[in-house]
Structure 1
C-alpha cells in the first residue's frame, strides 16, 4: 500500500486498518481457525509479521484503531502486505476494505477496497 499525503496537513498518527466481511458458506477445503491471514513486512528484521484483519459485517469504529505513523505534508508512506486464504476460507469474492485513520481525531481520512477472490484447491 502506498499512502501519499497531499499538501493539506501534517499527520502525527495515521494507521491502516483492514476489514473483511464474514461470508457464510462452505469452506474452500475444510478446516477451522481464521479464514484469512494478513501479514506486514518488517523492513528492520526482514520478516513477515502478523497484522490485524478484522472480520465483521459492521462498520469499523475509528475508535478501535490505535497507534499510527507520522506523515508530513507531501510525504509518502509505503507498507508491504500480503494476505492468504486458509482452508477455512469460503470460496468466492470478498474484498479487503482498507481505512486510513487519523487516530488523534478518531477520523477516517481515506478509504479503498482491494478485490480478493478465493477458489478451492
Structure 2
C-alpha cells in the first residue's frame, strides 16, 4: 500500500478547502484477498486556550471519489485516541492476485475545531483473518484561519 499527496502531507485550514490524497493497493501473485478494508483514523485534537469553540468532536470530513460516477461520497473517519481491534471490522472488497487498485480521497477541516498536528492513520485490514496487511501514517496539520 502506498499513499500520495502533494508535498507528502496534508496541510489543512479550518473552514478551508479539502486536500486530496490517493491510496494505492498492490497485490502480488501469492494470494488473493476476498475482503480488504481500508480504515482511517485520527487522534483527537484538543483546543489550545482560544475563545473559539473547540473540543474533541470530529471536526473533519473524509470523502472518497466514486470511480463510477466521479462524485465525492462520505467515507468513515474514526476520531479516537485508542486503536479499534481488527476483529471488530467487517466488510471490504476483493483484491485478486496481480492487481493494483487506486482510490482517491479528500479530507477537509470544518470551521470549528482545534488546531494542531496528528496523522491520518490508514490501515488495510484483511477482515477474513483480522490481520492488518499494511499501515501508513499520513502527516497532517490543521491550522485556524
TM over 0.5: yes
Alignment partner of 1:101 out of 125, 128, 134: 125
8 Å CA contact 1:31, 1:87 repeated in 2: no
Compute the TM-score of the two structures, normalised by the length of structure 1.
Answer: 0.89
- Measure, in 2, the Cα distance between the counterparts of 1:119 and 1:54: 20
Asked whether 1:63 is paired with 2:74, we answer no
TM normalised by structure 2 equals 0.75
Does the 8 A contact of 1:19 with 1:60 survive in 2?
no
How many residue pairs align between the two structures? 121
Residue in structure 2 matched with residue 12 of structure 1 by the alignment: 34
Give the secondary-structure state (helix, strand or coil) at the position aligned to 1:45: coil
Structure 1: tracts of 5 or more residues without a match: none
The answer as to whether partners of 1:14 and 1:100 remain within 8 angstroms in 2 is yes
CA-atom RMSD, angstroms? 2.0
Residue 54 (1) aligns with residue 78 (2): yes
